């Protein structure tokens, strides 16, 4: 039976929540200081209808602060007209130039405004954990670091050998299954097992990365056992329901899965502001070294753009460690180079 555990890392500048499945990270949720809960999943507000495109079955809305959103218009809805005020809830967050998607609660009145912000990260994690214990000690920091590192990888080893590569494009997410040097004398059986293993691993990794929409699997080999693969895919993507759709294996050896998108992907959060992501990693490294070396003076060296971003958190770090650290900008260093030492 699968076992899930829940972790909450209360870091400086951000909070990270992790769900593990049988000891491997399955979900990573990140909330950073200054995130707008008015545009996150679950936020409720009043929107103004700017335009209705009946051919597309879409209403284009304006939320509080001029934020754009779209509402899928269903045949059973009451007629929606331009200028109308509607109460809506964020169903899927905006991402990479695409507007947020909302669901209709009902008619309203007045100007666009926020009625209720989205649940914060702790509340969201507790909703996933239900009655389970949420771990918040040093193990949470370790779990979050491990989850973040794995989420940023493109190629992932498969249990038993082989690998899969997960790459996001504007239109879809491509998953390539590679048997590699997976052991076994019967090549057909080896390939079949690699594909079955890859479906389970990819489902976990897609949840970890926060990727969804159309996912296309380029399966290894040919002459696939379609029924076995469909059954494996249904089980693997069960936690993503409702809204998952799975196609049979095509004659080209591909399988298509659609997975509902709700939050911005973890990859988008981590890569949108790379200097901030590295700065927060530097602050964590300083905190870790400071706890390991009580009383020692600490030196953190990094690229100038990272140092600038990190200095916004110096006062919070000083509250935890005291004023015994220095952040030094090193000209010419790449953004990913971070060095922390005790003196």
CATH of the domain at 301: 3.30.2320
The residues, any chain, with a CB within 8 Å of residue 166's CB and separated by 6 or more, are 154, 156, 173, 174, 175, 202, 205, 206, 209, 211
Residues 287 and 197 in one domain: no
Report the C-alpha gap between 102 and 79 in whole angstroms: 17
Cis link prior to 48 (omega < 30° from 0)? no
- Going from the C-alpha of 318 to that of each of 116, 121, 298, 310, the distances in angstroms are 34, 25, 12, 12
Nearest to 174 by CA among 99, 286, 256: 256
Q: Give the residue numbers spanning the domain of 71.
A: 44-116
Residues 108 and 135 in one domain: no
Task: Decide if 121 is inside a domain.
Answer: no
Task: Decide if 126 is inside a domain.
Answer: no
Residues 51 and 87 in one domain: yes
Report the C-alpha gap between 192 and 164 in whole angstroms: 14
The string of pLDDT tens digits covering residues 110-144 is 999 999 999 999 999 999 998 899 999 999 999 99
Task: Decide if 60 is inside a domain.
Answer: yes
Partner residues linked to 134 by β-bridges: 6
Residues 166 and 247 in one domain: yes
Task: Decide if 88 is inside a domain.
Answer: yes
Residues 218 and 278 in one domain: no
Residues 295 and 318 in one domain: yes
- pTM of the predicted model as reported, rounded to 2 decimal places: 0.90
- Going from the C-alpha of 238 to that of each of 18, 199, 200, 235, 246, the distances in angstroms are 19, 12, 10, 5, 11
Is the confidence at residue 4, as pLDDT, over 70?
yes
Report the C-alpha gap between 112 and 133 in whole angstroms: 39
Nearest to 256 by CA among 195, 178, 172, 163: 172
Residues 24 and 55 in one domain: no
The string of pLDDT tens digits covering residues 23-54 is 999 999 999 998 988 899 999 999 999 999 98
Last residue of a domain, one of 216, 247, 266: 266
Structurally, how many domains does the chain consist of? Answer: 4
Task: Decide if 84 is inside a domain.
Answer: yes
Cβ–Cβ under 8 Å, residues 336 and 278: yes
Query: Residue 185 has what pLDDT?
Result: 64
Average pLDDT over residues 66-83: 92
Residues 139 and 15 in one domain: yes
Cβ–Cβ under 8 Å, residues 129 and 6: yes
Residues 109 and 229 in one domain: no
The string of pLDDT tens digits covering residues 325-334 is 999 999 999 9
The string of pLDDT tens digits covering residues 236-264 is 999 999 999 999 999 999 999 999 988 89
Residues 15 and 136 in one domain: yes
In this structure, what CATH number is given to the domain that contains residue 90? 2.40.50.140
Last residue of a domain, one of 223, 238, 266: 266
Query: Residue 1 has what pLDDT?
Result: 61
Query: Residue 183 has what pLDDT?
Result: 65
Report the C-alpha gap between 16 and 125 in whole angstroms: 10
Residues 244 and 306 in one domain: no
Backbone phi and psi for residue 72, each to the nearest 5 degrees, phi listed first = -65, 125
Task: Decide if 335 is inside a domain.
Answer: yes
The confidence band for 286, taking pLDDT boundaries of 50, 70 and 90, is very high
Task: Decide if 332 is inside a domain.
Answer: yes
Task: Decide if 298 is inside a domain.
Answer: yes
């Amino acid at each position: 039976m699968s076992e899930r555990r829940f972790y909450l890392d209360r870091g400086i500048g951000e909070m990270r929540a992790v769900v593990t499945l049988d000891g491997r990270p399955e979900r990573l949720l990140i909330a950073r200081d200054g995130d707008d809960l008015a545009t996150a999943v679950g936020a409720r507000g009043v929107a103004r209808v700017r335009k209705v495109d009946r051919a597309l079955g879409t209403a284009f809305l304006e939320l509080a602060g001029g934020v754009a959103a779209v509402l899928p218009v269903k045949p059973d809805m009451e007629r929606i007209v331009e200028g109308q005020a509607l109460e809506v809830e964020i169903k899927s967050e905006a991402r990479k130039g695409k507007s947020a998607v909302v669901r209709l609660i009902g008619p309203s009145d007045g100007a666009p405004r926020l009625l209720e912000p989205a649940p914060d990260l702790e509340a969201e994690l507790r909703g996933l954990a239900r009655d389970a214990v949420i771990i918040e000690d040093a193990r949470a920091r370790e779990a979050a670091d491990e989850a973040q590192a794995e989420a940023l990888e493109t190629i992932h080893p498969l249990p038993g050998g082989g690998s899969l590569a997960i790459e996001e494009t504007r239109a879809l997410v491509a998953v390539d299954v590679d048997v590699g040097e997976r052991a076994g004398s019967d090549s057909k059986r080896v390939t079949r097992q690699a594909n079955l293993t890859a479906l389970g691993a990819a489902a976990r990794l897609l949840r970890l990365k926060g990727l969804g929409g159309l996912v296309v699997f380029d399966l290894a080999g040919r002459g696939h056992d379609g029924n076995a693969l469909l059954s494996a895919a249904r089980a693997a993507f069960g936690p993503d329901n409702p809204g998952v759709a799975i196609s049979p294996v095509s004659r080209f050896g591909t399988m298509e899965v659609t997975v509902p998108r709700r939050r911005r992907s973890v990859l988008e959060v981590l890569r949108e502001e790379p200097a901030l992501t590295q700065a927060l990693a530097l602050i964590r490294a300083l905190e870790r070294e400071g706890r390991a070396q009580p009383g020692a003076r600490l030196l953190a060296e990094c690229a100038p753009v990272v140092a600038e971003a990190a200095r916004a958190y110096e006062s919070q770090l000083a509250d935890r460690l005291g004023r015994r650290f220095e952040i030094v900008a090193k000209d010419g260093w790449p953004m990913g180079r971070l060095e922390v030492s005790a003196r």
